[in-house]
A and B are shown apart, each in its own frame.
Chain A
Amino acid sequence: MGLVAVNKVSFAMDESEILGIIGPNGAGKTTFINLVSGIIMPSDGKIEYKGEDITYAPAHERARKGIARTYQLIHPLENLSLIENIMVGSIFARGNSLKAARRKAEALCSELGLRDLDRDTSRLTILEVKKMEIARALANEPEVLFLDEVMAGLNADETKDLIATVQKIAKERKLAVGVVEHVMGVIRELTHRVIVLEAGELIAQGPYEEVSKNKRVIEAYLGGAA
């Protein structure tokens, strides 16, 4: 039978809500995002989005339907410039012309504080790489955005900058944002609500303050009885 990586995880997200997705390593957080965004297909079961069955819809279709996500390990498209990287979603998920895509990408960059747009992606600082990755996902003009450990590797100032950016984006675009993070400080500051995954199951949800005191959650992190 094997290991069930994600088991009946179901929850609601509201527009402009930033939802934290936390849980110990191996809990199935990234797998969950991969399943929702269509990078992997489920072996069993169903995936529904806004009432529509998208279980077997390919990733590019889900991107067009309004689901976007960032990747933990960011590999920019090295033969496209910074702004061209961002234009891709605008062209293919939204069907914009090259010109329109460029304008929209420029607007995104200005919003996120990215400059020198024709730069080679090998010359970006780590904060710029993260912002570019978020911009790339936003270029899809999604309704739902999953950020997979986007704060990893940033120092305190950079983290503060990015937290403020994410909050602004969620609010202005009325986006539902799911944030996977390991740093609880970020979760506490950034999210309105949190869901906790353990061994593929959703074991708690609620505001961070509540959830962090939940016995089962604490056991999950500290390795209590299986």
Chain B
Amino acid sequence: MNRSLARAIAIGAAALALILPLFAGDYPLQVARNVMMYMALAVTWDMLLRSGQISFGIAGLFGVGSYATILAVVRGGMPDWLSIPFAGLFSGLVAFLIGLVILRLRHTYFSIVTMALGEIFRIIIHNLHDFTGGPEGIVIQQGVMFGGKSSHLYWLALGGLAVALGASYWFDKSRFRFALTAIRNNETSAKSSGIDIFRWLLVTFVITSAIQGMIGGIFVQSYGFASPDSVFSADFTLLPMAMALLGGIHSTVGPILGGLLLGLVAEWLKLKIPYGHLVVYGVMIIVVILFMPNGLLGMARKAGKKAAGGQRDQA
């Protein structure tokens, strides 16, 4: 696909996304909100994946951000609008401290530790009963942000997604792409070319975790409620992974594409199999990795190459 066509589609999609509340009802807007939040998580997960590190801790950072927001508002009286970037900052800081320790690990070991992260945070919050409200959760007394107005909550989520997309695009256009790709492809070579691997991983981990935390903040402000089981749910880890894998990893567009497809499927699944939907995401991840590891984008690229190659042969 040539660049101007891609740009035109992107602008068209953005414009459509922006004006959606003008003609869509409450339920579609709510679905769209959720899908966009998952998309943002998918995109940021992919950003770290580009360095070769697979995080299973999305829910952990998302949950940390959620609680940072709700506690800041309920216990600290922080204004709503401030509590969301605050979630980002707080999650970023937590990620920095954790990253200092766990980013000495790579690949499998890193992944296993991130898996534990969500659990550790959940248990901490579960047990700091008085401050966090414990297992029953905590409610924002003054209610949901914007008084629950669908359109505004939708735009809030859209804003969160825009931040994630902007960051991913920046990663693609800057020296981040070189650093992360080099680290992923061949760490020894990367080192020999002057790349401080630990530092680049740490920065990437902090940025992506901050955004994930911010999305957690947006989530909680949209529903006015947080509990350990709701915000640390494996949903927030598995679905974004499935989305990125399905659409095509190592790209900005892939997670969006996967997000659109899976997001709608997920909504439907939640109605049909309220407790089994996680199984579906898990199965999907396995199937995609086995049969189409580069996702739909990868398949499209392959088909495009074949077509171009075929034409050359005939010339």
Contacts and interface: CB of A to CB of B under 8 A. Distances in A.
A29 interface: no
B193 A88 contact: yes
B179 A92 contact: yes
Contact of A59 (B184, B185, B192, B250): B192
Interface string A53-90: 00000111101100011010001111110001001110
B178 A91 contact: yes
Interface stretch (A8-16, A134-142, A150-158, A202-210): A134-142
Contacts of A60: 191-197
A37 interface: yes
Name, among A77, A84, A91, the residue most crowded by chain B CB atoms within 10 Å (CB to CB): A77
B189 A140 contact: no
Nearest to A63: B194
A94 interface: yes
Nearest to B174: A98
B188 interface: yes
B175 interface: yes
B189 A75 contact: yes
Interface string A139-175: 1100000000000000000000000000000000000
Interface string A173-197: 0000000000000000000000000
Contact of B192 (A69, A79, A84, A87): A69
Contact of B178 (A71, A75, A88): A88
Nearest to B180: A79
Contacts of A80: 178, 181-182, 185
B314 interface: no
Given A58-B196, A64-B194, A88-B195, A98 B175 contact: yes
Given A92-B195, A93-B194, A77 B189 contact: yes
A38 interface: yes
Nearest to B198: A58
Contact of A79 (B184, B189, B191): B184
Contacts, number: 81
B141 interface: no
Contacts of A78: 185
Name, among B174, B185, B192, the residue most crowded by chain A CB atoms within 10 Å (CB to CB): B192
Contacts of B189: 71, 75, 77, 88, 136
B142 interface: no
- A contact residues, range: 20 to 34
Interface string A34-54: 000111000000000000000
Name, among B175, B179, B185, B193, the residue most crowded by chain A CB atoms within 10 Å (CB to CB): B193
A92 B194 contact: yes
B178 A59 contact: no
Contact of A88 (B182, B184, B250): B182
A75 B197 CA distance: 18
Contacts of A75: 185-186, 189
Interface string B222-254: 000000000000000000000000000010000
Given A79-B181, A80-B178, A92 B188 contact: no
A71 B184 contact: no
Kindly list the 6 A-B residue pairs having the minimum CB-CB distance in the complex, ordered from nearest: A93-B194, A92-B194, A59-B191, A89-B193, A77-B185, A63-B194
Interface of A: 37-39, 58-61, 63-64, 68-69, 71, 75-80, 84, 87-89, 91-94, 98, 136-137, 139-140
27 contacts: A39-B188, A39-B192, A71-B188, A75-B186, A77-B181, A77-B186, A77-B190, A78-B185, A79-B181, A79-B184, A79-B250, A80-B182, A84-B178, A88-B189, A88-B194, A89-B192, A89-B193, A89-B194, A92-B178, A92-B179, A92-B194, A93-B193, A98-B174, A136-B189, A137-B192, A139-B193, A140-B192
